[in-house]
Structure 1
Amino acid sequence: MQTLHGLMAFAAYFFIGLAMINCFMFIYTRITPHDEFRLIKDNNSAAAVTLSGAIIGYVIPLASAAVNSVSIVDYLIWGAIALVVQLIIYGGMLMYMPKLSEKIINRNLAAGIFMGAASIAGGILNAACMTW
C-alpha cells in the first residue's frame, strides 16, 4: 500500500511538472519576438541552443521544487517563481544584447550559446536558492 501511495505522489508531481514545462515553453516562446519552433525546424542551431538552455534552466529549479516542496500547491508556486526568474534572465540578456532575437534569427550560434548558458546558470542559482 505504501508503494502505491508513493507511485501516486510520483505521478502527481511528474505530470504536473510536465504541464508546468509545457506552460513555460508556451509563455517563453510568446515573449520572445522570434518563432523558436519555426527556426528550429529550419535547422537554426542558435534557436535550438537558446530554447534548450531556457528549458533546462527552468527544469533545474523545477526539480529542486519537487524535492523540497511540502505540497502540490507549494510545488506550483515555486514552479511559477522559476518561470518568472527565467523571464527575468531573458529580459536581462536583452539589456546586455538588445538585438538578441535578430542574432538568433541570423543563426549567430555564439549569441545562442551565451543566452542558453545564461538561462542554465540562472536556473542553477534559482534551484540553489530554493533549497532552504
Structure 2
Amino acid sequence: MTATLQGLLPFLTYFGTGLAAMVLFKFLYALLTPYDEWTLVTQQKNTAAAISIGGALLGFTLALAAAASNSVAYNDFLIWAGIAMAAQLLTFTLVRFVVLPSIVEKIKNNEIAGAVVLASINISVGLFNAACMTY
C-alpha cells in the first residue's frame, strides 16, 4: 500500500496545478472575448456561449494533459502548460480577428453553427497541440 501511495504527492501537485491552469486559462480567455461567457450561459441560457467556452476549455485541457503526461519534471510541465495556454489563446485571437471576424456577434446572438465551428477549431488545435508535445 505504501508503494502505491508514493505517487500521491506528485499526482496532487500536477492535478492541483492543472486545475489552477484551467482557471487561469478561463480567466485569460474571458479577457480576450468582448462578452462575459458565464453571464451569457448562466443568465441568458446562451447555448452558443456554452459550446464556445466548453470547446476552448476542452482544447486547452487536451494540451494540458499531454504536457502533464510527457513532462520530465514539474518545471517542464509548467513550461509546456504555458505554451499550451498561449497556443490556445492565440487560436481564439486568430479566429476572432482573421478567420471568422463575425464570431463574436454569432456567439452573442446564440448562433449554434458559429459556436460549433469555434469549439471545433479550439478542440482541433488542442489535440494537435497535445500531439506535438509527445517528444
Q: TM-score, normalised by structure 2?
A: 0.94
- Inter-partner Cα distance in structure 1 for 2:3 and 2:24: 31
Aligned to 1:59: 61
Percent identity over the alignment?
41
CA-to-aligned-CA distance 1:32-90 (integer Å, 9 cap, x gap): 11110000011101000000000000000100111110111111111111111111111
Matched residue type, 2:70: N
Structure 1 unmatched ranges of 5 or more: none
SS in structure 1 at match of 2:6:
helix
Moved >4 Å (runs of 4+) = none
Q: Which residue of 2 aligns with 1:22?
A: 23
Give a deviation string over 1:1-59, Cα, whole Å, max 9, x none.
Answer: 43232111111111110000011001101111111000001110100000000000000
Aligned counterparts of 2:26 and 2:94: Cα–Cα separation in 1: 18
Give TM-score, length-normalised by structure 1: 0.96
Unaligned residue ranges in structure 2 (runs of 5+): none
Alpha-carbon distance in structure 2 between the residues aligned to 1:14 and 1:88: 24
Partner of 1:96: 99
The superposition leaves residues 72-130 of structure 1 with CA deviations (integer Å, 9 ceiling, x where unpaired) of 11111111111111111112212111121111001111000000000000000000000
| Aligned residues of 2:32 and 2:93 also touching (Cα < 8 A) | no
Amino acid at match of 1:31: L
* RMSD, aligned α-carbons: 0.9
